[in-house]
Amino acid sequence: MGYRSREKKRQAKAAIARVKRDHHDTMRTRYYLTFAKKGCRCSSCGRRLRVNDQLVYRHDGPVTLCLPCGEADPLVDYRISLRWEKQRWRERRAA
């Protein structure tokens, strides 16, 4: 890897860190569609969520919702997480 691409990578990383810092409070209170990192329960219906199940997550709380609950709740306006997009992209490539 040349100096240029390394530098680019470093700048990209710094930019992401900056955005994360600036939007930390927003990100905490926002809902994201992601995958369960570990087993947990839906905060609303109590359904068991297993590792890699899709879930709607908010850091503040924290709140973990199964997809049906996340979609049914009008207060939950979730967005797609980077993690979710990456996973989708991998699945599409494998198919």
Residues at the contact surface with Zn ion, assessed by CB under 5 A: 42, 44-45, 47, 66, 69
DSSP assignment of the chain: --HHHHHHHHHHHHHHHHHHHHTHHHHHHS-EEEE-SS-EE-TTT--EE-TT-EEEEETTTTEEEEHHHHHH-TT---EE-HHHHHHHHHHHHH-
**Contact yes or no for 64/55 (Cβ under 8 A):** yes
Nearer to Zn ion, 42 or 63 (CB): 42
Nearer to Zn ion, 40 or 66 (CB): 66
Q: Least separation, in Å, of the C-beta of 57 and Zn ion? A: 12
Half-sphere exposure of 63 (CA within 13 A, CB side): 21
Q: Least separation, in Å, of the C-beta of 36 and Zn ion? A: 12
Q: Least separation, in Å, of the C-beta of 54 and Zn ion? A: 11
Nearer to Zn ion, 30 or 47 (CB): 47
Q: Least separation, in Å, of the C-beta of 12 and Zn ion? A: 36
Nearer to Zn ion, 33 or 42 (CB): 42
